[in-house]
């Protein structure tokens, strides 16, 4: 007879702690491999500007929204990143999502819209690329 072990369900506190650990891991990875001034962003209330501060491309700020959740919702996350991009007057908004069972921060998934990809590639936002 085999016994099945179940993980305890996440509650709000454990989910927030997991999210904070994920944000820290991503910020530390980016600080090590890109720029040592990158860090977790201090929460600023209603006008959220993303989870990671100090990330730039071509001299322009980038917004990074980190997600460590069991159910993926890319459309919702990309819309959130776009709002935060606007709040920060940033070039582009990116979502970094945790892959289940993958601990290495460098192996997580990055999502962005095509408009944000074009902004990253060209260094500027095109007319009509704001949502």
Residue 89 lies in a domain: yes
What is the CATH number for 91?
3.40.1350
Number of domains the chain contains: 1
| pLDDT tens for each residue of 53-66 | 999 999 999 999 99
In terms of Cα–Cα distance, which of 1, 44, 25 is closest to 98? 25
| pLDDT tens for each residue of 9-37 | 778 888 888 999 999 999 999 999 999 99
Distance of CA 14 to the CA centre of its chain: 19
- Tell me: pLDDT of 89 over 90: yes
- Tell me: pLDDT of 103 over 80: yes
Question: With the C-alpha atoms ordered 51, 53, 55, 59, is the resulting torsion angle positive or negative?
Answer: positive
Number of C-beta neighbours around residue 51 at 10 A: 24
Residue 2 lies in a domain: no
Residue 97 lies in a domain: yes
Q: What is the pLDDT of residue 10?
A: 72
User: Domain range spanning residue 67?
Assistant: 12-122
- How far is residue 37's CA from residue 55's CA, in Å, rounded to a whole number? 8
């Amino acid at each position: 007879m085999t016994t099945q072990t179940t993980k305890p369900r996440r509650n709000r506190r454990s989910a927030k702690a997991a999210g904070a650990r994920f944000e820290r891991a991503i910020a530390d990875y980016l600080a090590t491999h890109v720029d040592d001034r990158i860090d977790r962003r201090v929460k600023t209330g209603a006008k959220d500007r993303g989870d990671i501060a100090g990330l730039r491309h071509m001299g322009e700020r980038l917004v990074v929204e980190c997600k460590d959740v069991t159910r993926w919702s890319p459309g919702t996350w990309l819309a959130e990143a776009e709002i935060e991009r606007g709040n920060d007057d940033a070039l582009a908004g990116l979502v970094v999502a945790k892959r289940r069972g993958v601990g290495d921060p460098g192996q997580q998934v990055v999502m962005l819209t095509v408009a944000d990809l074009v902004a990253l590639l060209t260094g500027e936002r095109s007319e009509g690329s704001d949502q």
